[in-house]
C-alpha cells in the first residue's frame, strides 16, 4: 500500500536511508546498497531526498570506508554537494536565543520534517508535528557530518577548493563550545541544542 507521507516513488523515505546504507555496507553483494545510494543521488529519489532530515552523505562515506570503492564515492561528490546545498534554506545566521541575538549559526527544522515528532521538545509545543520548530541537534549533527564527509571525498579527488570551508560569502564557522557558553536563559525549543561547525563546501 502506498505511504502518503513518503512523497517518493516506491514509498522511499530519506530519514531512514542512513540506517539502510550503514546496515548494507557490509553486505557481500555491494549492488544493493550501491543502487540504493544511486536512487537517492541520481535516480527517482533525488527530488525527495530533502523531504526529511537525512544523513545520506555521512552514511555514504562510512560505506566507502568498508567497501573501499573509491571510484564510486568520488563520482558521487557533485551529487552529495548538491544535496548539501538543498538545506541552505534551513540555515540561519546569528540565531536569536531567548530574545537575544547571538553570533552562532545553525540549521533549523520542525518535528515532523526532522522525523522526531512525539519527542519531548515537540510535545511541549501547541502542535506536536509542525510546532516546536528549533535549532535541533539532529539536523545540525547531520549537516556537520555531511560537510566533513564532503571535505574528505574532495581531498581524495585532489579538489582543494571544495575541501576547505568558504570564508567570503558564507557564515563563519562556529564551535559547539562557544555556542554553549553564549546560551542564556531558560531552555526552549530553540535553545536546547548545541551549535555545530558549518563548513559549506564549494561546488567543483
In order, the DSSP letters of 106-150 are: EE-B-TTTTT-TTSHHHHTSS-TTT---B--HHHHHHHHHHHHHH
137-156 and 56-67 helices, crossing angle to 10°:
40
Greater pLDDT, 119 or 180: 119
pLDDT above 70 for 174: no
Q: What is the pLDDT of residue 126?
A: 82
Task: Give the model's confidence band at 101: pLDDT under 50 very low, under 70 low, under 90 confident, else very high.
Answer: very high
pLDDT bin (cut points 50, 70, 90) of residue 175 is very low
- Lowest mean pLDDT, pick from 32-41, 107-116, 120-129: 120-129
pLDDT at 195: 38
88/10: higher pLDDT: 88
> What cell numbers appear for 125 in the block?
509545543
Q: Distance between CA atoms of 161 and 203, rounded to whole angstroms?
A: 8
pLDDT tens figures, 38-90: 999 999 999 999 999 999 999 999 999 999 999 999 999 999 999 999 999 99
pLDDT band at 191 (very low <50, low <70, confident <90, very high): very low
Mean pLDDT score across all residues of the chain: 81
Q: Give dist(CA 146, CA 191) in Å, integer.
A: 23
pLDDT of 7 higher than 80 = no
Which residue is listed with cell 509545543?
Answer: 125
- The answer to whether 90 touches 198, Cβ cutoff 8 Å, is no
For residue 170, pLDDT beyond 80: no
Q: Is the pLDDT at 179 greater than 70, yes or no? A: no
pTM recorded for the entire structure: 0.77
Predicted local confidence at residue 182, as pLDDT: 31
Q: Three cell numbers at 101? A: 541575538
Amino acid at each position: 500500500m502506498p505511504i502518503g507521507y513518503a512523497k517518493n516513488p516506491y514509498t522511499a523515505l530519506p530519514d531512514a536511508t542512513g540506517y539502510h546504507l550503514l546496515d548494507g555496507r557490509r553486505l557481500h553483494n555491494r549492488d544493493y546498497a550501491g543502487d540504493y545510494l544511486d536512487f537517492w543521488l541520481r535516480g527517482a529519489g533525488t527530488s525527495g531526498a530533502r523531504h526529511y532530515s537525512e544523513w545520506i552523505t555521512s552514511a555514504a562515506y562510512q560505506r566507502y570506508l568498508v567497501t573501499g570503492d573509491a571510484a564510486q564515492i568520488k563520482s558521487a561528490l557533485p551529487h552529495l554537494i548538491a544535496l548539501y546545498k538543498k538545506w541552505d534554506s534551513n540555515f540561519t545566521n546569528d540565531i536569536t536565543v531567548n530574545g537575544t541575538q547571538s553570533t552562532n549559526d545553525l540549521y533549523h527544522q520542525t518535528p515532523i520534517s526532522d522525523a522526531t515528532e512525539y519527542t519531548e521538545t515537540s510535545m511541549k509545543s501547541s502542535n506536536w508535528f509542525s510546532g516546536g520548530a528549533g535549532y535541533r541537534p539532529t539536523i545540525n549533527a547531520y549537516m556537520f557530518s555531511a560537510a566533513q564527509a564532503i571535505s574528505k571525498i574532495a581531498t581524495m579527488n585532489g579538489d582543494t577548493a571544495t575541501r576547505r570551508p568558504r570564508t567570503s560569502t558564507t557564515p563563519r564557522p562556529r564551535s559547539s563550545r562557544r555556542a554553549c557558553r553564549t546560551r542564556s536563559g531558560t531552555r526552549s525549543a530553540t535553545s536546547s541544542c548545541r551549535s555545530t561547525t558549518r563548513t559549506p563546501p564549494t561546488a567543483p
